[in-house]
């Protein structure tokens, strides 16, 4: 079946991220000596990733294959599809292809990292085709929660693969740009080898609501507000921001943009002609005191309750220039990202404590999803009519349920493949299967460090966060081995020292007894001394209060 693969001429599809997880989207298409990359996204840290800022895909598989990479193709400008570029482009620098807004966002992001001149970026319009090695890629317009989203028709010697990216089928989009169903149908008539389709909303029945409904909700809520209005949204959702601005204009309000990414993205969108904001509508933060509260609408980031975001500081009454007062209205116009529910709930509680009225998608239609629900997913399958179906984008349960949805549509079970990250799915002569697995994983970014924090460090951080730390400081005479200082015991996150002096004195006594029982030879070996002290403290803490702090003996040479 796979004889062609022995001479490296079959088509290989290799996910390096984005399967079994939300975010981190990165897919490789490989044929012979040619590789193209679709998307290069980041993921925000999960709760166990203590102290981690962001997560990016491990691209070690591409080491030694850099000369084979013909291009990076971006479906749209969300962080989970473009956010890893500043880190990946340190190692590889192929041409980047995307629509105008996507490239605009990428250019701004790379400029922050002083990488904007390190790589070539090419703007591609929907229905245009780019040739890269043996591949040709046609951009197909799709609706999503960001402007300029595209699916790809990737033509290879083995056939055409449709890669949907994130999409929904919005029949009344804000900008009038419909999902290009005609092009999908054209490929369906021609014959499609495989469909890789967005699984994010597969658990939702029916159809996803139109983005236009959010604008209608804004126009319903805004006139009822007697004080300041604050709308929190993702800065990349240009249509959402545009509709909030239009609702504010309809009520005679000025608009204050708050948050660096919000200001930057709106500026990029205006320069590229994706937003229409009349002169005199936007004001600067310094102008805020000139206006009455009922004359202002603020559009801000921070809808996920990020601790240092402007909205969180406003909710905590910790913002120097912006104060929330009784009667103000706050609209959280975004979905609750899984894992953020408690943080957002706390944010909402703090907003209510300030006396605000709060709208979110559980109580009002101030947010709609950008992802296709079941009926739209079925329609995509029926238009494309693929020989093979591979669900992408989502947690593992989403992928499995999407495969089952495909079975209901009529795609045979044996022609659906549920991939996981690192799988090599090979196509040859119209057949396909998983033939191998490549190195893959997650690279943690902590501050300016990239990849220097691994599982062991995270385990230590978890241990410290749960059990605290005890430092035992000892001064030993190097020549005689006698204890001439300490032991001093300092704890953090273990016990409150002022109230536990007697208990810590017992611990000190045990350390003294331990050292007194060691030979001169052992006392000369500091590694051995540390091990003995650590063992004594570990037994004492476990037996006395059933705790397991991190124990760090420190020996001073005296």
What ranges in 431-500 are assigned the alpha helix state H? Answer: 455-467
d(CA 70, CA 83): 20
CB 125 within 8 A of CB 149: no
* Residues 6 or more apart in contact with residue 547 via CB below 8 angstroms: 467, 468, 494, 541
Instruction: For 203-240, give the DSSP string.
Output: TS-S-PPPTHHHHHHHHHHGGG--S-EEEE--TT-HHH
Within 10 angstroms of residue 112's Cβ, the number of other Cβ atoms is: 11
> What is the DSSP pairing of strand 550-557 with strand 469-476?
parallel
Dihedrals φ, ψ of 549, to 5°?
Answer: -70, 160
Give me the residues paired with residue 389 across strands. 195, 416
Sheet holding 550-557, edge to edge: 483-492, 469-476, 550-557
Q: How far apart are the first and last CA of the chain?
A: 73
d(CA 87, CA 263): 23
Widest pairwise Cα distance in the chain: 89
* Residues 6 or more apart in contact with residue 248 via CB below 8 angstroms: 222, 229, 254, 255, 281, 297
Which residue in 58, 80, 198, 423 is the catalytic one?
198
**Residue reference for tokens 């009529």:** 410
CB 374 within 8 A of CB 202: yes
Tokens describing residue 402: 């999407």
* Residues 6 or more apart in contact with residue 177 via CB below 8 angstroms: 141, 143
| 198 is annotated as an active-site residue | yes
For 213, 411, 473, 514, 524, the CA distances from 534, given in Å and listed in that order, are 63, 61, 12, 10, 17
Which residue in 367, 371, 398, 440 is the catalytic one?
371
Phi-psi domain of 362 (left: phi exceeds 0; alpha: psi -120 through 50; beta: other): alpha
Dihedrals φ, ψ of 514, to 5°?
Answer: -60, -50
Half-sphere exposure of 377 (CA within 13 A, CB side): 37
| 34 is annotated as an active-site residue | no
Show the beta-strand stretches assigned E in 412-482: 423-428, 431-437, 442-446, 449-450, 469-476
* Residues 6 or more apart in contact with residue 138 via CB below 8 angstroms: 127, 128, 129, 152, 153, 155, 183
3-class SS letters over 32-55: CCEEEEECCCCECCCCCCCCCCEE
- Catalytic machinery residues: 198, 371
């Amino acid at each position: 079946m796979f004889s062609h693969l022995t001479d490296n001429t079959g088509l290989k599809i290799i996910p390096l991220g984005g399967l079994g997880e939300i975010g981190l989207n990165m897919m490789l298409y490989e044929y012979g000596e040619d590789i193209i990359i679709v998307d290069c996204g980041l993921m925000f840290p999960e709760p166990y990733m203590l102290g981690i800022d962001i997560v990016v895909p491990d691209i070690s598989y591409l080491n030694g294959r850099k000369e084979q990479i013909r291009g990076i193709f971006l479906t749209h400008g969300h962080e989970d599809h473009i956010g890893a570029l500043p880190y990946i482009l340190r190692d590889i620098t192929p041409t980047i292809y995307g629509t105008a807004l996507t490239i605009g966002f990428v250019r701004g992001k790379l400029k922050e990292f002083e990488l904007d001149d390190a790589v070539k970026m090419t703007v591609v319009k929907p229905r245009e085709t780019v040739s890269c090695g043996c591949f040709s890629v046609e951009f197909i317009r799709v609706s999503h929660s960001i402007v300029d989203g595209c699916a790809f028709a990737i033509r290879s010697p083995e056939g055409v693969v449709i890669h949907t990216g994130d999409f929904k089928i919005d029949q009344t989009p804000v900008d009038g740009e419909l999902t290009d169903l005609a092009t999908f149908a054209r490929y369906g008539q021609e014959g499609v080898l495989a469909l890789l389709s967005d699984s994010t909303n597969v658990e939702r029945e029916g159809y996803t609501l139109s983005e236009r409904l959010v604008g209608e909700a804004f126009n319903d809520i805004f006139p009822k507000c007697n004080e300041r209005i604050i709308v929190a949204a993702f800065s990349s959702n240009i249509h959402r921001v545009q509709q909030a601005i239009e609702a504010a204009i309809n009520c005679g309000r000025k608009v204050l943009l708050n948050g660096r990414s919000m200001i930057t993205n709106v500026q990029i969108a205006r320069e590229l002609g994706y937003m229409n904001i009349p002169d005199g509508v936007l004001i600067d933060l310094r102008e805020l005191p000139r206006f009455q509260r009922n004359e202002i609408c603020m559009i801000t980031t921070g809808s996920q309750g990020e601790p240092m975001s402007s909205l969180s500081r406003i909710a905590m009454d910790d913002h120097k220039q912006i104060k929330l007062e009784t009667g103000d209205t706050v609209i959280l116009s975004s979905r609750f990202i899984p894992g953020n529910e408690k943080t957002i709930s706390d944010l909402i509680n703090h907003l209510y404590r300030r006396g605000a009225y709060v709208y979110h998608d559980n109580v009002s239609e101030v947010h709609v999803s950008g992802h296709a629900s079941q009926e739209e997913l079925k329609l995509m399958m029926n238009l494309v009519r693929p020989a093979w179906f591979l669900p992408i984008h989502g947690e593992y349960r989403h992928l499995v349920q999407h495969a089952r949805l495909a079975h209901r549509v009529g795609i045979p079970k044996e022609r659906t493949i549920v991939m996981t990250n690192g799988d090599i799915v090979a196509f040859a002569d119209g057949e396909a299967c998983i033939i191998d697995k490549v190195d893959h994983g997650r690279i943690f970014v902590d501050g300016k460090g990239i990849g220097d924090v691994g599982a062991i460090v995270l385990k230590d951080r978890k241990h410290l966060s749960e059990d605290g730390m005890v430092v035992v400081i000892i001064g030993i005479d190097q020549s005689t081995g006698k204890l001439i200082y300490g032991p001093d015991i300092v704890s953090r996150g273990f016990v409150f020292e002022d109230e536990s002096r007697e208990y810590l004195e017992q611990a000190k006594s045990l350390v003294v007894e331990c050292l007194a029982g060691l030979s001169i030879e052992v006392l000369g070996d500091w590694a051995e001394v540390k091990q003995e002290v650590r063992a004594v403290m570990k037994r004492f803490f476990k037996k006395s209060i059933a705790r397991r702090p991190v124990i760090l003996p420190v020996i001073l040479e005296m």
